[in-house]
Amino acid sequence: MERKIKKSRWRGLISYYKPYAGLFAADMIFAIIGAAVTLAIPLIVRYITTDVVFLPGDEAITKIVQFGLLMALLVFVEFGCNFFITYYGHLMGTYMERDLRNEIFEHYQRLSLSFFDSEKVGHLLSRVTADLFDITELLHHGPEDLTISVIKILGSFIILYRITPVLAVTAMIMVIIMAVFAIGMNRKMKKAFAANRARIGDINSQIEDSLSGIRVVKSFANESEEMNKFREGNDRFVASKRKTYRYMGFYHSFTTFLTTMITVVSLIVGAFLLTQMRMSVTDLVTFLLYVGYFTEPIKKLINFTEQFQNGYSGYTRFCEIMEIEPDIVEREGALSLERVEGDIKFENVSFHYMDTNETVLSNVSLHVEAGEYVAIVGSSGVGKTTLCSLIPRFYDVTSGCILLDDRDIRDVKIKDLRRQIGIVQQDVYLFGGTVLDNIRYGKPDATDEEIVAAAKAANAHEFIMNLDQGYETDIGQRGVKLSGGQKQRLSIARVFLKNPPILIFDEATSALDNESEKIVQDSLEKLAKNRTTFVIAHRLSTIRNAKRIIVLSEEGVAEEGTHAELLERQGLYAKLYEAGH
């Protein structure tokens, strides 16, 4: 099974060359030409020193000039080849990195919320940045480095063997020893590089967490505490790197030692052959020139092994993410949904998260008619938010079903379903950019006039016009330049623009001051008019006027009725209400 996965991963890795097959082929051709030119020059030098210099004066000069011009031409050819493989090869790598990044980001968008509940953003970010860079460095440099190295090693060996077989075989034996050693060390280095990836992901998560919560950090004056946590993670990364560098140090030292020894042994054996009149000085010089070409690609292959470990460990992590299937998937033949009335039924709905068997909702049955305004209340942890999160299929029911206009929501296309639902949460998320951009998020093709109308409906137009640049004001990362009430009204404006028939208000005013709460509450009331509305309430005073209040308990729906009716029953709702006063 593992072998099949590895084969499929290799096929997947190679498939990224397909869109750039022409560019890749050209890159390989120029790499081959460049390597061949490098091998040709010492042969010309050998010919000049063995044959040309012994020709009559003028003829020798003519030949030397001719071969000098030929070598100059070959050097220019080598220059052109090197430029092509450096510029266009890197460009091809950049294209593939773009494709990989698009692919993994698109996959992130398809994954379910349960995945993001258990993953750290820093780890996900490192897969989009550092991992992909290493993968494309391997995809770009790997084939050309291997091609150039193989051509130079084999070409040099053939030429060296023709000069003197004894020296050539001696050098090749040392190369084989180096290759065996490299294979053994690669296995250890692979594990070490994988550990490095995990540690840098931890550091990214630590940085993202600390910087995202920088206001909390400063409010508690806990900068030193954050620095201590960061140092601990950084020290773990250093410990991981130390092990890697121990392997690398031994690896590079031993291979460099063998590389140098090839030259030393060649010189000693060659000198011995000279004394035996079995080799000429010209051949020894030529041999030593080719030994340089013989050992230089070996060094390149040594570097390639490190690059391979980086790239392949990065690709393994990339595949681990890409092989994760979304929990929420569309059924085959899912129905399109243009517009709905908004009638919603929960039929014996139970739910628990995938990583735990602890039941969050148990046998909930509930019918909310189209256009009805319903408040959901209950003690903390009974599943109020979870219940409403099941409607847009952020999670799927464990058992039972949810019907929208008498259709199981699992039979509807997910995108169409979510277009029918507007959500206003307590924790408002605004994107970096302008006010205009953030409101337009509710309807990407909206006109400026539609955006202004939505802002007015959300009681946001007045404060927007008082900003420095009005709708073109940059609100900063997550809207840090706005107050809580202003951010909430922008989120309501987004939903006004979306204009969905179903609304979910998840404790949308619980974090606001009294003045902001009144303004936002007015906006919410306007938005809820003639729409099926679920209000998750923490402060019961905010839903006293609701025509229907649903009280959830661990056993399901415990009570329902108006505020007055529920107080008269002196049940769970009455206890919750009294506890809040």
Pick the closest to residue 178 from 120, 260, 238, 240 (CA basis).
260
- And the tokens for 205? 């998560």
Alpha helices for 276-362 (secondary structure H): 281-322
Q: Report the C-alpha gap between 495 and 421 in whole angstroms.
A: 9
Q: Which is more confidently placed, 440 or 306?
A: 440
Q: Report the C-alpha gap between 529 and 531 in whole angstroms.
A: 6
pLDDT of residue 2: 42
Residue 216, CB half-sphere, CA atoms under 13 Å: how many?
7
Beta carbons within 10 angstroms of residue 206's beta carbon: 19
pLDDT of residue 157: 83
- And the tokens for 347? 């039929």
pLDDT digits 0-9 by tens, 103-115: 888 888 888 777 7
pLDDT digits 0-9 by tens, 27-59: 999 999 988 888 888 777 777 776 665 566 677
For β-strands 361-368 and 373-378, DSSP reports them as: unpaired
Average pLDDT, the chain: 81
Average pLDDT over residues 543-572: 84
Average pLDDT over residues 14-27: 91
Please identify, in words, the CATH class of the domain defined by 104-322: mainly alpha
- And the tokens for 366? 């509930």
Pick the closest to residue 283 from 44, 46, 52 (CA basis).
46
4 confidence band (pLDDT: 50, 70, 90)? very low
What percentage of the chain has pLDDT greater than the value 70? Answer: 91
pLDDT digits 0-9 by tens, 497-530: 888 899 888 876 665 666 666 777 777 788 888 8
pLDDT of residue 509: 67
Note whether 553 and 382 are within 8 A (CB).
Answer: yes
pLDDT of residue 345: 93
pLDDT of residue 173: 83
pLDDT of residue 256: 78
pLDDT of residue 508: 66
pLDDT of residue 212: 65
Burial of 263-275, coded b for 16+ CB within 10 Å and e otherwise, reads eebbeebbeebee
Greatest alpha-carbon span in the chain: 124
- And the tokens for 559? 């009570």
Instruction: Please give the CATH number for the structural domain made up of 344-579.
Output: 3.40.50.300
Note whether 149 and 300 are within 8 A (CB).
Answer: yes
Q: Which amino acid type is present at position 535?
A: V
pLDDT digits 0-9 by tens, 312-349: 888 888 888 888 888 888 888 888 888 888 899 999 99
pLDDT digits 0-9 by tens, 445-468: 889 999 999 888 888 888 889 888
Q: Which amino acid type is present at position 193?
A: F
pLDDT digits 0-9 by tens, 67-96: 788 889 999 999 999 999 989 988 998 899
pLDDT digits 0-9 by tens, 130-159: 788 888 888 888 888 888 888 888 888 888
pLDDT digits 0-9 by tens, 199-241: 777 777 777 667 666 656 665 566 787 788 778 877 877 777 7
307 confidence band (pLDDT: 50, 70, 90)? confident
Pick the closest to residue 471 from 480, 481, 460 (CA basis).
460
Average pLDDT over residues 521-544: 80
pLDDT of residue 567: 87
Provide the residue ranges of all domains of the chain, joining segments of one domain with +.
104-322, 344-579
CA pseudo-torsion sign 271, 276, 278, 281: positive
pLDDT of residue 3: 45
Note whether 316 and 127 are within 8 A (CB).
Answer: no
pLDDT of residue 557: 85
Burial of 482-519, coded b for 16+ CB within 10 Å and e otherwise, reads bebbbbbbbbbbbbbbbebbbbbbbbbbeebeeebbeb
Q: Report the C-alpha gap between 333 and 459 in whole angstroms.
A: 42
